[in-house]
């Protein structure tokens, strides 16, 4: 992987959304065709032999790469959204955040026990949203669950992986 292409196109915004946070803006990776292609190809290489049948994209930046990689792998896409955004019957998972409780959901018929599922989001910090998404997907008893991020903030959140079930294989393209 050419990490330099990604690093050269990743915009960092100091003190946003609050003072002391160095926000990594992946939208600049999406708008650059070379960076976008690099992410797609790297994710394809990571998962091409894993038998992925569904990719769960986490709202909303996770939708971008989930769709592109699903097309490349020949897999389906499942949207993981906040309540009230999906039109059919859903399954939900609630989780604690630093300022309250949040909930995510997916369609009740989105995943089967025959599926091999890859969950994708742009960034791993505390891991709360992805952990809840993994727990939600496990309710469907798929054959295997993987989780992927473009960026992992392991220097700021060194223990974020510890909250995940040990059977979830986690990868990230860039680590800070």
pLDDT > 80? residue 98:
no
Cβ-based neighbours of 9, under 8 Å, separated by 6 or more: 28, 29, 32, 34, 35
Q: State the DSSP code for 87.
A: S
The tally of CA atoms less than 13 A away on the side-chain side of residue 27 is: 5
CATH number at residue 103: 3.40.50.2020
**What is the span of the domain harbouring residue 111?**
49-175
Banded model confidence at residue 172, pLDDT cuts 50, 70, 90: very high
Q: Once rounded to an integer, what is the mean pLDDT over residues 64-89?
A: 97
pLDDT > 80? residue 18:
yes
pLDDT digits over 110-122, tens only? 999 999 999 999 9
Residue 17 in domain: no
Residue 144 in domain: yes
Residue 74 in domain: yes
Residue 23 in domain: no
Residue 2 in domain: no
Catalytic positions are: 61, 98
Banded model confidence at residue 76, pLDDT cuts 50, 70, 90: very high
Residue 12 in domain: no
Total domain count, the chain:
1
Banded model confidence at residue 100, pLDDT cuts 50, 70, 90: confident
Residue 58 in domain: yes
């Amino acid at each position: 992987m050419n990490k330099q292409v990604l690093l050269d196109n990743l915009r960092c915004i100091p003190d946003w959304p609050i003072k002391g946070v160095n926000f990594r803006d992946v939208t600049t990776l999406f708008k650059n065709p070379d960076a976008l292609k690099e992410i797609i190809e790297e994710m394809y290489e990571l998962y091409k032999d894993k038998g992925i049948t569904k990719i769960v994209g986490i709202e909303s930046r996770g939708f971008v790469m989930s769709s592109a990689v699903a097309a490349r792998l020949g897999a389906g896409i499942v949207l993981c959204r906040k309540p009230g955004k999906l039109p059919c019957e859903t399954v939900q998972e609630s989780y604690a955040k630093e300022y309250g409780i949040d909930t995510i959901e997916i369609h009740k018929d989105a995943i089967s026990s025959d599926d091999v599922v890859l969950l994708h989001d742009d960034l791993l910090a505390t891991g709360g949203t992805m952990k809840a998404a993994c727990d939600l997907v496990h309710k469907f008893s798929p054959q295997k669950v993987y989780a992927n991020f473009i960026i992992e903030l392991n220097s700021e959140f060194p223990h974020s992986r510890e909250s995940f079930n040990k059977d979830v294989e986690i990868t990230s393209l860039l680590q800070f």
